[in-house]
Structure 1
Amino acid sequence: MARVKLPPSIGQRRLGAELRRMRERAELSATRAGELFGATQSRISNIEAGGYAVSAERVRALARLYDCADEQFIEALARMTGGRTRGWWEEYREILPSDALDLAELEHHAETLRIASALHIPGLLQTREHARAVMNDAVPSMTSEEVEHRVSHRLKRQSTVHGEPPTPLTVIIHEAALRMGFGGPSVSGRQLRRLIDQGEETHLNMLVIPFGAGAFPSAGHGIVQFCAENARLDTIQLDTDHGSVFLDGETQLSKYRMVLDRMEACALNPSQSRDLIVRIQREM
């Protein structure tokens, strides 16, 4: 039986995109780059699309060809060629949309995470019951089997922040998300109790924006910053009604880092945030 070739992972696509940006900054066409590199234009294009595996040495060679002098950035790219193995999320490839797999991969490889959410408890911190209640309210509606696949995937993603070693996580949650009441009082109460317990973990920095803080930037959608070992390789995810949108342009990264900084500035400190969560939980 012929082996089915998997589509490029988001890590492979990002590596290719960075090589393309490097080439464009050098003002070389793909055809000219291929001539200088001893490859065809189609080979260069396939590398840049993430469809052709490239070794660490070839990444370094392309960087020299493109006159890139940022050694730390080049080495971070070189490391992306070897460590991006297919993970547990591949078992969901024929079950869930591709952006769900991309999300799990980005979380798995992130050095640190920063998440902001106004109306939902972030998926990495949800209980099974809460996650199921959220999925049951999705539009369009999902079958019970689809819901359980989504819930299973979400809970497996949580190994990122609860595994060994855990990925450091900063979560910025608005008070509205704490009071939404998904699943009713008992489910919401247990979810808030989980947040209180998680807030005690040293790798998790939980910050709450209270209603009294007033307006704050980007209140309409969730934002995740996946922090790489080199800041130029960070990724931003926007959580929308039609799925995840991933951004990695320099201007986009700069904008959303600033948005998240401003949201953090609006939030209570961790101790005050915990006190507010406890108060809301007692009101359930």
Structure 2
Amino acid sequence: MTGSQAAAYLGGERAQVSHLESGRYGISAERVRRLAAFYSAANKHLVDALAQMADERGKGWWEAYRGVLSPGFLDIAELEHHATFLRSIRMLHVPGIFQTPDYARELITSAVSGLPDEEVAARVEYRVQRREIFDRPAPPRFDAYIHEAALRMRYCSSDVMRSQLALLQEVSRWPSVQVHIVPFDAYVTGSLHSVLHLGGPIPQLDTVQLDSAFDGGFLDAEAQLAR
């Protein structure tokens, strides 16, 4: 089936289908099911999960930041919202979701120079608000693997770092959170990167986010995730 055929089936333009496929436009649950039928998608669990995500799209707290922060950042919050588990590997800093406002501010301003104060404030506020997933009655399991270097790097003052370490100690006692510190003398491969693995509602929707100061890069194809 071609994009033009799909557009004709939906009663739209080819460009509209292209935008839907790339994620630039949202899509309704009803259209997800129609397209799934059109493409003869036989995996009912996958179609149901996609339809549910489409139905909830545009309703999350992160939508308040649309137009302020880049879409890649907002995608992280949406994926965390739907995640059944999360695994974070951080080589040089504490995972964003567990950062204090002061620590986050120092990281953001040192990584990207010249950001307007309003955007810095929005990034910090957004980063802290991502912790809302742990306020649920049944929060997702979060395994954080943090290299010892991240705890010793000097991004900020001693007072700010002391507060950050105190928060990290606190979250390590949360029932759904496990914090693992990777010591300097542990063997690691040269290709190890800072990543966030988000378990989707079903395995086919698992996603890996690659760390970036500017946006979120994502891997979601099975072949990519298998590497």
- Band of TM-score, shorter chain: 0.7 to 0.9
Q: Aligned partners of 1:242, 1:49: CA distance in 2, in Å?
A: 19
Q: Once the two structures are superposed, what CA deviation does each residue of 1:196-244 show, in whole Å capped at 9, x if it has no partner?
A: 221111100111111111333543x420112111111122111124432
User: How large is the RMSD of aligned CA atoms in angstroms?
Assistant: 2.5
Q: Once the two structures are superposed, what CA deviation does each residue of 1:154-209 show, in whole Å capped at 9, x if it has no partner?
A: 11112123444433211111010011133222221221122122111110011111
| Pairing partner for 1:153 from 126, 130, 133 | 126
Q: List gaps (5 residues or longer) in structure 1.
A: 1-27, 256-284
| Pairing partner for 2:27 from 46, 50, 53 | 53
Q: Which amino acid aligns with 1:231?
A: P
Q: Once the two structures are superposed, what CA deviation does each residue of 1:112-147 show, in whole Å capped at 9, x if it has no partner?
A: 211111001011111122112212322323344432
Aligned to 2:216: 244
1:62 aligned counterpart, secondary structure: helix
Q: Give, in angstroms, the shift of residue 40 of structure 1.
A: 5.6
Structure of greater relative contact order (alpha carbons < 8 Å, 6+ residues apart):
2
Aligned residues of 1:47 and 1:54 also touching (Cα < 8 A) = no
Q: 1:65 to 1:145 in 2, by over 3 A?
A: closer
Q: Which amino acid aligns with 2:82?
A: H
Q: Which amino acid aligns with 1:128?
A: P
| Pairing partner for 1:214 from 179, 187, 207 | 187
What TM-score results when the alignment is normalised by the length of structure 1? 0.69
| Pairing partner for 1:228 from 195, 200, 206 | 200
Aligned to 1:192: 165
Pairing 1:139–2:112 present? yes
What TM-score results when the alignment is normalised by the length of structure 2? 0.85
Pairing 1:169–2:170 present? no
Q: Aligned partners of 1:93, 1:32: CA distance in 2, in Å?
A: 32
Aligned to 1:19: none
Aligned residues of 1:113 and 1:170 also touching (Cα < 8 A) = yes
Q: Give, in angstroms, the shift of residue 65 of structure 1.
A: 3.6
Q: Aligned partners of 2:10, 2:116: CA distance in 1, in Å?
A: 52
Q: 1:185 to 1:70 in 2, by over 3 A?
A: same
Q: Aligned partners of 1:73, 1:48: CA distance in 2, in Å?
A: 16
Q: Which amino acid aligns with 2:29?
A: S
Aligned to 2:81: 108
Q: Which protein has the larger Cα radius of gyration, Structure 1 or Structure 2?
A: 1
Q: 1:117 to 1:52 in 2, by over 3 A?
A: closer
Aligned residues of 2:99 and 2:164 also touching (Cα < 8 A) = yes
| Pairing partner for 2:53 from 80, 83, 90 | 80
Q: Aligned partners of 2:55, 2:140: CA distance in 1, in Å?
A: 20
